Every structure is written in structure tokens, then in C-alpha cells.
Amino acid sequence: MCAVPKPECEEALDRLFEYIDHELPEDEIDRIGEHLKECPPCHAEHVINEKIKRMVNRTGTDTAPDELRARILSTIRAGRPDAAHGR
């Protein structure tokens, strides 16, 4: 993520799984998709989350259990440089 997180980054990252699963209205999918194209750090998060989803799908289930998803998200957020600043 950027040294100074932008609101667009926060929205894109907060809605990333919904974006990946196409669970957002088309205008939000377009807006987040444009942001991901323009923001390398957010794009990198998107790539990582796509890989996680593919790995989970290989287990034979459509979605990860809520507890696993929460642990994965927690791990990802803890690894972000802005996590030390309470974001």
C-alpha cells in the first residue's frame, strides 16, 4: 500500500473479496477495477487475493469458511506496512 493510504485504496482493499467474487454493483466493480489498474500496491493485493481464492477453490468448496477467511484477512492486513499505524 502507498506510504499515505488514499481513501480509494482503503475502499478497494476493503471490498476486494466482493470485487473478486463479482458481488458488487457494476459501477463499483468498474471503479475498483480502474483503481487496481492505476495503483500497483493495490493491484499486488488483488493478485495475492486471487491466488488465495484459487487455492481455496481447489479444496472443493466454493467459499472459504468464515473463520478461515477472517484469519487470512487478518494475516494479510498484519503484513501491510500501514498496519503498524493502526490502519
Q: Structural domain boundaries of the chain?
A: 7-81
In this structure, is the dihedral angle defined by the CA atoms of residues 6, 12, 56 and 65, taken in order, positive or negative? Answer: positive
Give the tens place of pLDDT for each residue, 45-82.
999 999 988 887 777 656 778 899 889 888 888 876 65
Give the tens place of pLDDT for each residue, 36-48.
999 999 999 999 9
Tell the burial category of 36 from Cβ atoms under 10 Å away from its Cβ (0-12, 13-18, 19+).
buried
| Measured distance CA(43)–CA(4) in Å, rounded | 16
Give the tens place of pLDDT for each residue, 26-35.
999 999 999 9
